[in-house]
Structure 1
Amino acid sequence: AARAGAGDPQALVAPWLDRPADTIRVVLGPQDDAFAADQIAAFLDGPWTVAGRGDRMACFLDGPRLTHARGHDIVSDGIAMGAIQVPGEGLPIVLMADRQSTGGYPKIATVIGPDLGRLAQAQAGTRLRFAAVSIADAVAARRAEAACLAPEIRVEPVVRTAFPSELLLGLNLVDGVVDARR
């Protein structure tokens, strides 16, 4: 668990694990020019809901359907992890770790690195919005994440003073099978 048990029960032992996915930061592009300004605004306003059909390849989003200014087919080009494609149906798809290497739909934005894990861990039904940031802001967020992960992790031993029956019944107190006849 990410929360401390000894002192303050609300103190985070691992603050980087407290990652609600309510706002996901993105850098617009590389094909945001394939969308009118009102469609960029609709993308950023959302709200979006994480669909149940996502996997390691992609996170599918439900929400307002976006329209393309110049059609939804482009010449296939490389896809970075976190790229957000908008196919012809108008619902964004965030491409994740096992994404394809190239794709032919316009990419309206790209999720910044520090927010990818938050989105990847979002459960189906999670509602979120996107916030556009500059490349400088994305780099600063990456540096802040690295600084947060750099210190040694504090380890706190669990000391039990009570052994309720619920705890004992949940433990495997027998290691292996014993033959009582021997």
Structure 2
Amino acid sequence: MIEILTGSALNTVQDLGRPRAMTLGVARGGAMDAHALMMANALLGNDAHDAGIEIAFFPFRVRFHKRVSIALTGACGPVRLDERLLPANWAITVQPGQVLAIAPPLRGARMYLAVAGGIDVPIVLGARSTDLKGGFGGFHGRALDKGDMLDCHPTAMMIPEGGYGLVDPPALPCAEKTVVRILPGAEYEKFTPQARAALQSGIWSLTPSINRTGYRLDGPSLDLVAPLGLFSHGIVPGTIQVPPSGKPIIQMADANTCGGYPKIATVAEPDLRLLAQSSVGSIIHFVETTREEIVSEMRAQALRSEQLAAELASLRHKLIPWRS
């Protein structure tokens, strides 16, 4: 059992989401940084789709009530197991009564806590992810609160004494700016040449109006050539919509499944995790790419993930021995 010692409206149980449910008008959901969660599961020998805890509000503390192996990935910052400082992207076995304390990150915005066997919550519409808008999935369909008790699926997996970690963890955004690749959207040509140029040359910053549904940006106004009336239509995570204000909105993991604002571009799926790890005030720079480049990268990333999982399972060169 895992006891939550600090509550917030932002920390939730997440897995890789429910993309097939989008045809039912249900958000895909899942981890904002899916790759980080998959790496945490790989460290433990879990299935890639096992549920963990997405931590977006800090400090975060949990107490363990049984011996279990855990892994932390994603953002980097001070993490202590009782008084012991743990390295970033690390897996270790904890003992009953020990407390894990996670301070605000020094780099990145979200951490992922996985446990051997995965968090044991019901499967709803094909996934264990929390849908905060719908109030279902995860732990009673809500964010984790102080006093909540989470169980994990039984497993024989135990991390060796001291633990181990990733030599080459998933990249985090650089401090100066987050470079995000985009593809032209369905209404790209409906925007003025100045707006299309400003999308890539302008300085964009993340406003405080960001959540799991969407990120609002501040920067140049993106204007249409002429007023455009659209029926509400399907959208997906990564869609960049432009409301009448001219300030773009990027749909994120809990993206609405339909909307009527013009779509100027779409964020390449591998780069959504970089946005998820960016904080309020971060500078965003858009760079156009090609579908072929992104598909090739996604295939290569999937292959690397499979190879890494195999290496981790046999404790090969991607693991670091503990040095106190």
The interval holding the TM-score normalised by the smaller chain is 0.7 to 0.9
Counterpart selection for 1:25 from 178, 181, 199: 181
1:136-151 paired onto structure 2 within 5 Å: 136-151=292-307
Find the aligned partners of 2:204 and 2:272 in 1 and give their Cα distance.
16
The share of aligned pairs that are identical, in percent, is 35
Find the aligned partners of 2:237 and 2:274 in 1 and give their Cα distance.
14
**Quick check: 1:49–1:127 contact (8 Å CA) kept in 2?**
yes
1:14 equivalent in structure 2? 168
Compute the TM-score of the two structures, normalised by the length of structure 2.
0.44
Compute the TM-score of the two structures, normalised by the length of structure 1.
0.76
Find the aligned partners of 2:294 and 2:202 in 1 and give their Cα distance.
21
Aligned AA (2:230) = I
Greater displacement, 121-130 / 84-93 = 121-130
2:202 is aligned with 1:38: no
**Quick check: 1:46–1:128 contact (8 Å CA) kept in 2?**
no
1:90-169 paired onto structure 2 within 5 Å: 90-152=246-308, 153=312, 154-160=318-324
RMSD: 1.9
Give 3-state SS (helix, strand or coil) of 2:295's partner: helix
1:64 equivalent in structure 2? 220
Find the aligned partners of 2:303 and 2:219 in 1 and give their Cα distance.
35
Counterpart selection for 2:237 from 57, 76, 81: 81
**Quick check: 2:203–2:285 contact (8 Å CA) kept in 1?**
yes
Aligned AA (1:50) = L
- Runs of 4+ in structure 1 displaced over 3 angstroms? 17-21
Greater displacement, 37-46 / 69-78 = 69-78
Q: How many residues align?
A: 152
Find the aligned partners of 1:69 and 1:129 in 2 and give their Cα distance.
23
Find the aligned partners of 1:149 and 1:16 in 2 and give their Cα distance.
11
Structure number with the bigger relative contact order (C-alpha 8 A, sep ≥ 6) is 1
Find the aligned partners of 1:90 and 1:58 in 2 and give their Cα distance.
16
Give 3-state SS (helix, strand or coil) of 1:150's partner: helix
Find the aligned partners of 1:147 and 1:19 in 2 and give their Cα distance.
23
Unaligned 5+ segments in structure 2 are 1-87, 91-165, 313-317
**Quick check: 2:241–2:264 contact (8 Å CA) kept in 1?**
yes
Higher strand share: 2
Q: Give how far 1:72 is off.
A: 4.9
Unaligned 5+ segments in structure 1 are 4-11, 161-182
Aligned AA (2:278) = A
